Structure 1
């Protein structure tokens, strides 16, 4: 998947399956209550069918109509091999659904008067710098929340993979090439995170505390947090699952040790505003009711509608319509903003982690209805499909498309093995490598930092890269000065294979070479 991180799936592309399906727009019309009731009555059957179709271990679903929760239920188990069932209070990692929730936090601060969507990021984060002086000076909180900064797709994600802390990742964004400012769209977790850090700085606190103080606590979202430690401490939580030999298992989530994948919990705190929220279906139901009420909580107005509305209206075009009768797809400030075949505004966001999380919510304000689906599985498209089926039933009284058949290929495409040599056989008669000490040494580039190529205890080459503790990859000889390594399991699909190409004192690592930033110069011999 070039130019993006496997860990965070390209939800902009995947969500466009909804925007582009079907025929011309039509004026929105009222929906009878009995149609909503019939749609709710079919959720159990649709959910069970999709779970059987995919084999995912667990899922939680909630539906709101205005302030009322009209459906909330769990399906399956929290973890394979465990009898503990998922319920509507089971806590899941939300992945990129966090962006819409974070945008609600920003809107609250806009309403409180400390900032605006047009506040320059540097006003509160003076060291924030991108690769152009004008952009650095003028980029706003809204620009970064609309993914219109000019940063490349998934900027900074490989730095997180290498273990760099949040502030260091944000500082290194200035080395990335920029596309036209405010005239291009590219989905960036760390661009948005930079904006959120400016908001927190303006409020004089950290992001997780701000989110809890101004949104989670007032809405009664007692199981919701932007801290990974809180997710780990929840007794009723769902770990992620991945497929292994065709069945779901609790997943290898991050990291390598001596080149081997191992089982650890993944800490989402570095990009918490973009992907670090954990929550339950019942808590998300409270938040969807807040959105449908234009910013009102259970105790009255929480966020002025004028502060929230900009986030939920188009700010960036993701892609143009490809044919007459189709609709373009847009992004607001942290929300996908689309129009259904019936002419209704649909505000939504997906979330997906390769180590086993897939989530989706959507609200239709003209019908005063919202639905959320949370799963604990390797992304399959089930969350988006169930929401789309429900929305069809509400709008038309029937499911108009095989939504899973539309979404599943988009997700499957994100899991194709990466690398020019993936799936290929090593040459039968490869050119010999040079003496291994020719390749050993310290290599460096300014973006990804330093790495070492060393002789392992077994006498082969190994690559050590990143912040401590470093990632360690065995280098396998392929042909001549070309070696290979298997990228981390949370950033490349199974079967991926990256080239490590030595040439004239330089080392090019294919896996890290997006925007040409994976070439390292040899600076010293091996210690």
Structure 2
């Protein structure tokens, strides 16, 4: 056994000993499932754990923290859990409710007097609970460009102020549209009610009492903590690291929505707390609040795929959790997606069973397939479909995507000469702030003042302009549509019409405010 494999094996044995794994023979074949997914999607690294009847029966890791580094993923490797952070945020709020410091029906303005939504009536009637169910009226992913790409200069106060300028996409409490900004607001509500910063409360009220000793939020030292996975993207058949951490991981604005990092060991402990809580854990968070968090509060439309694959009739959102009937069984789960890292935590409460996995690569389809196959192990153990079948089904769906819903081929786009571009200047959006659309040598550059990684070149494709970001790992390329007027305005839309909703260019409304410096 080489040194790399020896370190990984030692780490896994320590995890198994620490959590008392019941069955190490993997009779259920979890290892074959994981290996098949890793091979199909060429994942740089993954950590997987499975719980059956309250006991951890499988825990394994594959790959490296950085592709080609020789540093193996271990059970103690930290991953960005992204939106799986939301359930930790709502648990923190539940603790404050148990302590009488907060009520779910309290108006948000009780804790944040400067909070405003676009509609004054919504502002007045927005409860703490409304921050958590994705039914506020914000368009899907509305304002996410204030959170990502990181690092940027947007603060939580910027988000609270900017919300009033984001136009609603639907009426208050009428439908589900996923957002992140209101979870940031929820973190600030917790800070106001709890009398300490969100990060302090998370360490004190969640991590410490549950023994999640490796979970991190706020600012911390990469080298002092150690064993940190880095995100990757795939290019030319290779996994390449992106947005790598520096020596100090800074506190980030998005923490309450998606900024926590944990390892496999702690995520399994977190899952056990929900599936088979100890008496001390029931003192930590009451049965009443546990039920509130994982009860349906807002219906989610059921997709054709979910109906066909899972026979799902009802899907809903609780507080930081999704839930649905899958093959006649109730499943509670959430996923996490954050620039080169994907995660999933799923619970089957009636069985006291579930699973968690963490991936440090571009892995949307891999997450879908692995989550489906692991879920079927419990809900439909005789399902004949395995990893290859579900992966092929996703490939077939992608191939059937209508031409109108596919991004255009931008390889023929040409850089726009400054002399041929009459729209140069300083532009401002009321929530995103200022951008510069200005000549830089022989090209025109788009650059955001508060989001320094968002800078790119203006090009022309056919009769339209587009912005291609200088760093391909930063964001989705975007159409740029100038409109004459007094003053001139700019609109933007995703080049890929089905691209990630966090690239919410459609919510931007730029007006020209001055000349280029």
TM range (shorter): 0.7 to 0.9
> For the Cα contact (< 8 Å) 2:417–2:444, is it kept in 1?
no
2:93 corresponding residue in structure 1: 106
1:135 corresponding residue in structure 2: 122
Corresponding position: 1:222 with 2:204: no
Corresponding position: 1:317 with 2:299: yes
Give the superposition deviation at 1:463. Answer: 2.4
Give the superposition deviation at 1:330. Answer: 0.9
Provide the aligned C-alpha RMSD in A. Answer: 3.6
2:377 corresponding residue in structure 1: 393
Corresponding position: 1:335 with 2:325: no
Corresponding position: 1:361 with 2:345: yes
> For the Cα contact (< 8 Å) 1:441–1:526, is it kept in 2?
yes
> For the Cα contact (< 8 Å) 2:141–2:504, is it kept in 1?
no
1:498 corresponding residue in structure 2: 479
Cα distance per residue 1:215-255 (max 9 Å; x no partner): 1111111001222535675311111111011221112569x
Corresponding position: 1:117 with 2:104: yes
Give the superposition deviation at 1:304. Answer: 0.4
Structure 1: how far apart are the matches of 2:36 and 2:411? Answer: 40
- Unpaired segments of 5 or more residues in structure 1? 1-34, 255-262
Structure 1: how far apart are the matches of 2:345 and 2:393? Answer: 15
Corresponding position: 1:301 with 2:259: no
2:334 corresponding residue in structure 1: 349
Give the superposition deviation at 1:39. Answer: 7.1
Give the superposition deviation at 1:96. Answer: 1.1
Cα distance per residue 1:30-61 (max 9 Å; x no partner): xxxxx999976411111111111111011111
Pairing of 1:444-463 with structure 2 (within 5 A):
444-456=428-440, 458-463=441-446
- Unpaired segments of 5 or more residues in structure 2? 1-21, 495-502
> For the Cα contact (< 8 Å) 2:128–2:186, is it kept in 1?
yes
Structure 1: how far apart are the matches of 2:455 and 2:345? Answer: 38
> For the Cα contact (< 8 Å) 1:460–1:475, is it kept in 2?
yes
2:8 corresponding residue in structure 1: none
Taking structure 1 as the reference length, the TM-score comes to: 0.80
Q: Quick one: which of 174, 180, 187 aligns to 1:196?
A: 187
Structure 1: how far apart are the matches of 2:453 and 2:365? Answer: 34
Q: Quick one: which of 201, 226, 236 aligns to 2:227?
A: 236
Give the superposition deviation at 1:139. Answer: 0.9
Change (3 A) 1:231 1:416: farther
1:284 corresponding residue in structure 2: 267
Structure 1: how far apart are the matches of 2:299 and 2:248? Answer: 35
Structure 1: how far apart are the matches of 2:105 and 2:393? Answer: 35
1:372 corresponding residue in structure 2: 356
Structure 1: how far apart are the matches of 2:337 and 2:296? Answer: 23
Structure 2: how far apart are the matches of 1:407 and 1:141? Answer: 40
Cα distance per residue 1:460-489 (max 9 Å; x no partner): 322222317474323235567x53321464
2:511 corresponding residue in structure 1: 521
Structure 1: how far apart are the matches of 2:57 and 2:417? Answer: 66
Structure 2: how far apart are the matches of 1:307 and 1:40? Answer: 36
Structure 2: how far apart are the matches of 1:112 and 1:297? Answer: 18
Give the superposition deviation at 1:85. Answer: 1.5
- Three-state SS of the structure 2 residue aligned to 1:366 is helix
> For the Cα contact (< 8 Å) 2:417–2:442, is it kept in 1?
no
Change (3 A) 1:221 1:378: same
1:24 corresponding residue in structure 2: none
Alignment: residue pair count: 475
- Three-state SS of the structure 2 residue aligned to 1:100 is helix
Change (3 A) 1:115 1:331: same
> For the Cα contact (< 8 Å) 1:151–1:191, is it kept in 2?
no
Identify which of structures 1 and 2 has the higher relative contact order when contacts are C-alpha pairs closer than 8 Å and 6+ apart: 1
- Three-state SS of the structure 2 residue aligned to 1:510 is strand
Change (3 A) 1:240 1:470: closer
1:17 corresponding residue in structure 2: none
Change (3 A) 1:423 1:304: same
Structure 1: how far apart are the matches of 2:383 and 2:248? Answer: 38
Pairing of 1:369-518 with structure 2 (within 5 A):
369-402=353-386, 404-405=390-391, 408=394, 422-424=408-410, 435=419, 438-456=422-440, 458-467=441-450, 469=452, 471-477=454-460, 482-487=464-469, 489-490=472-473, 492-493=475-476, 496-501=477-482, 503-504=484-485, 505-511=487-493, 517-518=507-508
Give the superposition deviation at 1:451. Answer: 2.1
Structure 2: how far apart are the matches of 1:310 and 1:292? Answer: 15
1:18 corresponding residue in structure 2: none
Give the superposition deviation at 1:184. Answer: 1.3
Give the superposition deviation at 1:267. Answer: 6.0
Structure 1: how far apart are the matches of 2:88 and 2:94? Answer: 10
Q: Quick one: which of 61, 64, 82 aligns to 1:77?
A: 64
Taking structure 2 as the reference length, the TM-score comes to: 0.81
Cα distance per residue 1:367-397 (max 9 Å; x no partner): 1112101111112333343343233223443
Cα distance per residue 1:114-141 (max 9 Å; x no partner): 1122222111111111011121112112
Structure 2: how far apart are the matches of 1:80 and 1:425? Answer: 28
1:14 corresponding residue in structure 2: none
